[in-house]
Structure 1
Amino acid sequence: MDAKDRQIIRALQRDGRLTNQDLAERVNLSPSPCLRRVRLLEEAQVITGYSADVDPRACGLTITAFIRITLARHDRDAVKGFETKVRDIPDILDCYLLTGEADYLLRVLVADLNAYEEFVRNRLHAIPGVASITTSLVYGTVKQSRLYPLD
């Protein structure tokens, strides 16, 4: 990936709806080589898809929770079982495997505190092998970015 590819990626991260013509102008290429580069980035799975950024509050999802999970056991079956269950729960947007005290960090969106309680009681407690659950609720956002530092 060269500097021109990085320019293309930065431009598409800022506005994934750019036409090829507009993208080519922004990165100072003619349309044909620009399109060829975009296709190569897609084929190499550097660009993995396109999506719309949506305000969760506008969709009624007012609570963001970061949940730290510690497993009771760490054998292959316990880890695989937990990770399989997590992938099937739509309220969990992100799940990260961690070093340190907790094993996983989940980012969860729910409508309100009642929905959060329902989520913990009926979704997380239903996953076998969870030893502890620690939650931090978000009450403000200082910075949120989906733009990767490609410089």
Structure 2
Amino acid sequence: MRNVNQKSRLDDIDINLLDRLQTDARITNVALAEAVNLSPAPCLRRVRDLESSGVIRGYVTLINPEDVGLEISAFIQVSLEKQVASGLRVFEDRVQNYPEVMECYLMTGDSDYLLRVVVSDLKALQSFIVEHLARIPHVSNIRSSITLKQVKYKTALPISANYS
């Protein structure tokens, strides 16, 4: 198996494969091989190498949140009393269990964490903040901002630009 854990290990064919798969993860191996000028067997081997090395972490279906009743998207800044390892661990463990939390980042700056959450309505957002976030030990401040309109959203990483 090729080692593809480092940027320098990905060649132009790998980058092309990744670009194509980010655009259409349901593409057949035959069509993918043709698109990157490989025969199907080496193409499949490369994709499996990218999967087993963790470069490709999985395949997902992107769903329109409004179509499944998730009307509210909010960003929530959370500050802890102090950044100690045990407090960080408790917070991070708790947010793993909340399906409303789509993303969570440990941040520099004014707050310790930035969360992106999706919920059905304002009542659900209030309940999430009061019943869940505010009850996590060491949380000292919570500030939320509700999105009005999504201007840009993408899932494909700009890997071609990074490798030119």
**Interval containing the TM-score (normalised by the shorter chain):** over 0.9
Question: Offset of 1:84 from its aligned partner?
Answer: 0.6
1:44 and 1:25 map into 2 onto residues whose CA distance is 23
Aligned-residue RMSD, C-alpha: 0.8
Give the corresponding residue for 1:98.
107
Question: Offset of 1:69 from its aligned partner?
Answer: 0.6
1:112 and 1:120 map into 2 onto residues whose CA distance is 13
Q: 2:48 aligns with which of 11, 16, 39?
A: 39
Question: Offset of 1:71 from its aligned partner?
Answer: 0.4
Are positions 1:112 and 2:121 aligned together? Answer: yes
Question: Offset of 1:121 from its aligned partner?
Answer: 1.0
Are positions 1:70 and 2:79 aligned together? Answer: yes
2:71 and 2:19 map into 1 onto residues whose CA distance is 29
TM-score where L is the length of structure 2 = 0.90
The alignment of Structure 1 onto Structure 2 pairs a total of residues equal to: 151
The alignment partner of 1:125 has SS state of helix
Structure 1: 5+ residue stretches without partners? none
Letter in 1 for 2:98: I
Overall identity of the aligned pairs, in %: 44
Question: Offset of 1:124 from its aligned partner?
Answer: 0.7
2:29 and 2:17 map into 1 onto residues whose CA distance is 10
2:75 and 2:34 map into 1 onto residues whose CA distance is 41
Question: Offset of 1:77 from its aligned partner?
Answer: 1.0
Superimposed CA distance per residue, residues 54-73 of structure 1 (whole angstroms, 9 cap, x where no aligned partner): 10111100100000111012
Question: Offset of 1:9 from its aligned partner?
Answer: 0.6
Confirm or deny: 8 A CA contact 2:73 2:146 kept in the other structure.
yes
Structure 2: 5+ residue stretches without partners? 1-9
1:8 and 1:115 map into 2 onto residues whose CA distance is 41
Give the corresponding residue for 1:7.
16
Q: 2:96 aligns with which of 87, 90, 101?
A: 87
1:58 and 1:118 map into 2 onto residues whose CA distance is 22
TM-score where L is the length of structure 1 = 0.97
1:140 and 1:3 map into 2 onto residues whose CA distance is 37
1:3 and 1:58 map into 2 onto residues whose CA distance is 38
Confirm or deny: 8 A CA contact 2:134 2:142 kept in the other structure.
no
